[in-house]
Amino acid sequence: MNTVITGATKGIGKAIAVKFASQGYNIAACARNKADLNLLKNELTALNPGIKVYVFQTDISKKQEVLQFADEVVKAMGQVDVLVNNGGIFLPGKTSEENEGVLEKLMETNLYSAYHLTRALLPFMKNSSKAHIFNMCSIASFMAYPDGGSYSISKFALLGFTKVLREEMKVKNIKVTAIMPGATWSDSWAGVDLPHERLMEAADIADSIWAAYSLSKSAVVEEIIIRPQLGDL
DSSP per position, 184-215? BSSGGGTT--S-GGGSB-HHHHHHHHHHHHTS
- CATH number attached to the domain at 2-226: 3.40.50.720
List pLDDT tens digits, range 60-110.
Answer: 999 999 999 999 999 999 999 999 999 999 888 888 888 898 999 999 999
pLDDT, average across residues 214-223: 96
Q: Are 61 and 113 in contact (CB under 8 A)?
A: yes
- Better-predicted residue by pLDDT, 199 or 23: 23
pLDDT, average across residues 110-131: 97
Predicted pLDDT of residue 188: 65
Q: What is the pTM of this model?
A: 0.94
Predicted pLDDT of residue 68: 98
Write down the domain spans for the chain.
Answer: 2-226
Would you place residue 190 in the very low, low, confident or very high pLDDT band (cuts 50, 70, 90)? low
34 has a pLDDT exceeding 80? yes
Q: Are 200 and 181 in contact (CB under 8 A)?
A: yes
